[in-house]
């Protein structure tokens, strides 16, 4: 097999989780697939663990198809061992322990990944913990720090504070010196937000986050908001932002449409940006990976930032993992373990 000359003993087939039809979690079933064919610039990873993310759930439902050329197997992040490489790959060796952001194919025994989108497994982390890093850390770093430029001393609000995105955003914003606010849906989840570094956790079921943000900031409001809700939250986020406030919208769990008073945007000089990670180019994702390796990986290895793991399930229980995510009872990341 010319695209895998390094390890000719690799099997020709692998177990993978397939979406047998759009629908509920039980449409996820184990099947047999051929190993991925490597393209130039790619690594083949023997997967030890794969992270579960909301886009996987939407793909399973038929609402978020993979981009052209991507695997139809769900899974956007993996950790494992490099077992083959395209001939043009540099900087990696067979046997390296890596975690990777991928456009699909993660729920499988083997997964191909662009070398630029791979990062070393941080020292001290298990494969399950490493698999929980790429999707959330790429997303938070790019949106909160690259796109809207959160700075030390600024007021920062993240919605869904105990989600994978939320737990990552709280920790990174805190360690880089922001004053962190986070919303969550229970007293226990609010406690976790504070444990991770939030200065103020807001129970959105019993408190109005707009009023809390204004009161706790002496009416100055937030400088930065990270939102994955959209819908009716857009107008409320605009109210919570202060002068020159910036908001990064990364998902639309609350709907695609919203009625807003654009006068508020003009008067406050607001910046609102949207971003989806999956369709971005390899070069763009590679630039994010390089920045993470330089600025964030040392913090993980020093124990100042960590992935928060809710649960680890075997690959065959992918349906249960999706059901757990859809329950919204989880705190942190849900991971599938293969090794």
Asked whether residue 232 falls in the same domain as residue 123, the answer is no
Asked whether residue 39 falls in the same domain as residue 77, the answer is yes
pLDDT at 196 over 50: yes
pLDDT in tens, 234-273: 999 999 999 999 999 998 877 777 788 888 889 999 999 9
The residues facing 112 across adjacent strands are: 44
Q: Is 11 helix (H, G, I), strand (E, B) or coil?
A: coil
Asked whether residue 225 falls in the same domain as residue 151, the answer is yes
**Residue 125 belongs to domain spanning:** 13-132+307-337
246 inside domain: yes
- Dihedral (CA of 113, 175, 336, 186) sign: negative
**Separation of alpha carbons 61 and 27, rounded Å:** 9
**Separation of alpha carbons 156 and 200, rounded Å:** 10
Q: Is 98 helix (H, G, I), strand (E, B) or coil?
A: strand
Asked whether residue 167 falls in the same domain as residue 267, the answer is yes
pLDDT at 185 over 80: yes
Asked whether residue 41 falls in the same domain as residue 74, the answer is yes
Helix axes 54-61, 318-327, angle to 10 degrees: 110
pLDDT in tens, 91-144: 999 999 999 999 999 999 999 999 999 999 999 999 999 999 999 999 999 999
Asked whether residue 263 falls in the same domain as residue 154, the answer is yes
29 inside domain: yes
181 inside domain: yes
**Separation of alpha carbons 211 and 226, rounded Å:** 17
2 inside domain: no
1 inside domain: no
Of 274, 297, 317, the one marking the end of a domain is 274
pLDDT at 8 over 60: no
Asked whether residue 75 falls in the same domain as residue 168, the answer is no
Please state the rounded mean pLDDT for residues 1-22.
77
pLDDT in tens, 212-229: 999 999 999 999 999 998
- CA gyration radius for the chain? 20
Asked whether residue 144 falls in the same domain as residue 166, the answer is yes
The residues facing 202 across adjacent strands are: 183
Asked whether residue 243 falls in the same domain as residue 159, the answer is yes
**Lookup: tokens for 152:** 């030390």
Of 274, 296, 325, the one marking the end of a domain is 274
206 inside domain: yes
What CATH number is associated with residue 199?
A: 3.40.50.720
109 inside domain: yes
pLDDT in tens, 57-72: 999 999 999 999 999 9
Q: Is 316 helix (H, G, I), strand (E, B) or coil?
A: helix
**Separation of alpha carbons 49 and 186, rounded Å:** 29
Asked whether residue 202 falls in the same domain as residue 172, the answer is yes
Of 274, 295, 315, the one marking the end of a domain is 274
Asked whether residue 102 falls in the same domain as residue 195, the answer is no
Asked whether residue 128 falls in the same domain as residue 222, the answer is no
290 inside domain: no
The secondary structure of 40-87 as a DSSP string is TTEEEEEEEEEE--HHHHHHHHTSSPPPTTS-SS--SEEEEEEEEE-T
The pLDDT score that the predictor gives to residue 252 is 80
Domain count, the chain: 2
């Amino acid at each position: 097999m010319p695209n895998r000359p390094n390890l000719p003993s690799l099997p020709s087939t692998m177990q993978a989780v397939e979406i047998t039809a759009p629908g509920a979690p039980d449409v996820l079933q184990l099947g047999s697939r051929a190993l991925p064919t490597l393209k130039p610039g790619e690594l083949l990873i023997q997967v030890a663990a794969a992270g579960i993310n909301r886009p996987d759930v939407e793909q399973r439902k038929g609402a978020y198809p993979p981009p052209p050329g991507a695997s139809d197997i769900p899974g956007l992040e993996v950790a494992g061992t490099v077992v083959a490489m395209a001939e043009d790959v540099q900087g990696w060796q067979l046997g390296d322990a890596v975690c990777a952001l991928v456009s699909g194919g993660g729920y499988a025994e083997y997964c191909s990944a662009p070398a630029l989108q791979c990062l070393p497994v941080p020292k001290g982390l298990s494969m399950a913990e490493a698999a929980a890093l790429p999707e959330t850390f790429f997303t938070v770093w790019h949106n909160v720090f690259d796109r809207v430029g959160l700075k030390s001393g600024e007021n920062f609000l993240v919605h869904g504070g105990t989600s994978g995105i939320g737990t990552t955003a709280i920790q990174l914003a805190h360690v880089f010196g922001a004053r962190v606010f986070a919303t969550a849906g229970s007293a226990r989840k609010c406690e976790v937000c504070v444990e991770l570094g939030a200065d103020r956790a807001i129970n959105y079921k019993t408190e109005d986050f707009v009023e809390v943000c204004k009161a706790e900031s002496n009416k100055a409001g937030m400088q930065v908001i990270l939102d994955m809700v959209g819908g009716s939250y857009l107008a409320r986020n605009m109210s919570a932002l202060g002068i020159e406030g910036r908001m990064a919208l990364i998902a639309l769990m609350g709907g695609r449409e919203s009625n807003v008073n654009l006068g508020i945007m003009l008067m406050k000089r607001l910046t609102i940006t949207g971003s989806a990670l999956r369709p971005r180019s390899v070069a763009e994702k590679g630039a994010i990976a390089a920045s993470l390796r330089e600025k964030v990986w040392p913090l993980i290895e020093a124990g100042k930032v960590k992935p928060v793991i809710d649960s680890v399930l075997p690959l065959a229980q992918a349906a249960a993992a999706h059901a757990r995510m859809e329950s919204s009872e989880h705190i942190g990341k849900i991971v599938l373990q293969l090794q």
